[in-house]
Amino acid sequence: MDSPHFPSFASLRVLLFGFCVITLFPEFVVSITRHYTFNVEYLNVTRLCHTRNILSVNGKFPGPRLVAREGDRVVVKVVNHVSNNVSIHWHGIRQITTGWADGPAYVTQCPIQTNQSYTYNFTIVGQRGTLLWHAHISWLRATIYGPIIILPKHNESFPFEKPHKEIPILFGEWFNVDPEAVISQALQTGGGPNVSDAYTINGLPGPLYNCSSKDTYTLKVKPGKTYLLRLINAALNEELFFSIANHTLTVVEADARYTKPFDTDTLLIAPGQTTNVLLKTKPYFPNATFQMSARPYFTGRGTFDNSTTAGTLIYKQPLKNSSVKNLTLLKPTLPPINATSFVANFTAKFRSLASAKFPAKVPQKVDRKFFFTVGLGTSPCPKNTTCQGPSNNTKFAASVNNISFALPSSVSIMQAYYSGQANGVFKTDFPATPLNPFNYTGTPPNNTMVTNDTKLVVLKFNTSVEVVLQDTSILGAESHPLHLHGYDFFIVGQGFGNYDPNNDPAKFNLIDPVERNTVGVPAGGWIAFRFLADNPGVWFMHCHLDLHTSWGLRMAWLVLDGPGPKQKLQPPPSDLPKC
């Protein structure tokens, strides 16, 4: 694994002392502080015979690994050497009372301007497994992303077989042109954006694309071993199926929460989701190589990148000088592009471990219930311009409860809240239910226009919350991976059609539902989740398809301070960026 970057001799000395203490007195060590420096800089990268000057961290694409143990404090100094404004989100990290380190631009911070820096400072509490970090402004996360690897505490083991090796596998999306130009043009014209040119595995598109056979990710394994694959979907706009030919994968963790193990030969992983799987290799050297493939799951009506990225699983040869060139290449069979029934069956298999050591603390009673519709809509075309939206002179839009969320531009929402200057920045009357109910998955209403506004839901500290997210068929039913910042939540129910508040709650799983930070709202269906609002701050919730976020499928929760000293949002750091 990459080791942390140590910015100073002093911090190196502290860390070395920490490591010495761990070696001599492991039972006394609770945690250490890990220092990283992330330099956001330009990097020339060639893929598909196109060379682009991309944005990267520390000259790496994908970016460097951030490695820590559960309980560690992590300090990351992010220095912006590029012309774009930048912010980094530590996706899935709970950020307990450290919301200033969460990263979404104009929500918890103003972005870091050119030649400026900001130090993110947070502690990892009660989480272990795989998460990801990525840019959180416009579409910069197309190339600014990397893995977060959280190891168990010292002297603690995995609740499954210890792997021979751990391997991060990051799925991404490659554009031959600057993605910022792609989204800028789409927002200007009001139409759908140009799609990506390839999907990638660890930054490499693989042999199924033109001019790309040399850019293929190869995973070399030994017979009779168990490997932990840390799967991360960092793609901008697509949920992905993934499979390795002739191999079974055992799911053991999702979004840095252990799960009851189950076997599968194909996975679905949405943008922002992470899944740890065990790969048991064959006990003998097989006279074959095995393709690993990922391609999109898509249910919408627009255009999408209908291509497949592939890597190769190769067994290390038992004999020197033997060749893999003549071995048969076996390929996996992935589900059809729109295999919604497969997706529903697959996601239903996830369950919390719910053991004595890792209990599932599902809120059994609910203080506040919310019913949110999520989906597409339209907004009017500005006067004297022509738009390429879904109907005459409209623009594509997206919304939660028909509110297309507008971000401020001169201050972050949390700064406005903390300084008591919310007037003119945000309102606190986000509707708990749709203002104009309709048959959500039936014939769409005639009026598909959305409202643009900046409204928040305010929650008192320790409120238990139930949220039902209902997909709508406006402009086509579509799966939406929704991500909640600052929290993990329990997915207590899901179904197709319209949610039935009279009959569906009786089927909720309140014993061992899976706990995640990102969930796919089924195409033409609904999802119900619960969480305890025990983390003060302003927390973004949005679709992790970046196009839908850009169109406004986003909102925010304001969780008030609790009475205790450790239940209050910490003061903003002195180097918090200015707009």
CA distance 423 to 137: 24
The whole-number average pLDDT for the span 516-540 is: 98
Task: Tell me which CATH code domain 160-349 carries.
Answer: 2.60.40.420
Q: What is the pLDDT of residue 163?
A: 98
**Which amino acid, residue 245?**
A
Domain ranges of the chain: 14-159, 160-349, 368-559
| Secondary structure (3-state) at 250 | strand
Task: Give the global pTM.
Answer: 0.94
Q: What is the pLDDT of residue 391?
A: 84
Residue 173 in tokens = 């999306």
Q: Sort 306 into a burial class: Cβ within 10 Å, 0-12 / 13-18 / 19+.
A: exposed
Q: Say if residue 5's pLDDT is above 60.
A: no
**Residue pointed to by tokens 């269906």:** 525
Q: Is-same-fold flag (160-349; 368-559)?
A: yes
CA distance 540 to 529: 16
Q: What is the pLDDT of residue 324?
A: 63
Among the ranges given (39-48, 180-189, 386-395), the one the predictor scored with the smallest mean pLDDT: 386-395
Who wins on pLDDT, 251 or 31? 251
All residues at 6 or more sequence positions from 59 whose CB lies less than 8 Å from its CB, including other chains: 39, 41, 43
Q: Say if residue 19's pLDDT is above 60.
A: no
CA distance 523 to 483: 16
CA distance 311 to 47: 15
Q: What is the pLDDT of residue 30?
A: 73
Query: Which top CATH class is 14-159?
Result: mainly beta
> How crowded is residue 170: how many other Cβ atoms within 10 Å of its Cβ?
22
**Which amino acid, residue 406?**
A
Instruction: Give the pLDDT confidence of 163-176 residue by residue, as tens digits.
Output: 999 999 999 999 99
pLDDT mean across residues, the chain? 94
Q: Say if residue 207's pLDDT is above 50.
A: yes
Instruction: Give the pLDDT confidence of 118-152 residue by residue, as tens digits.
Output: 999 999 999 999 999 999 999 999 999 999 999 99
Binned at pLDDT 50, 70 and 90, residue 320 comes out as low
The whole-number average pLDDT for the span 468-483 is: 96
Q: What is the pLDDT of residue 29?
A: 61
Q: How far is CA 378 from CA 110, 363, 394, 550, in A?
A: 28, 37, 6, 13
> How crowded is residue 245: how many other Cβ atoms within 10 Å of its Cβ?
19
Q: Say if residue 317's pLDDT is above 90.
A: no
CA distance 168 to 1: 10
Question: 2.60.40.420, 3.90.1200.10, 3.40.640.10, 3.30.70.890: which CATH number matches 368-559?
Answer: 2.60.40.420
All residues at 6 or more sequence positions from 566 whose CB lies less than 8 Å from its CB, including other chains: 97
Q: Say if residue 23's pLDDT is above 70.
A: no
CB 208, CB 217: distance < 8 Å: no
Nearest residue to 216 (alpha-carbon basis) of 291, 119, 118, 296? 291
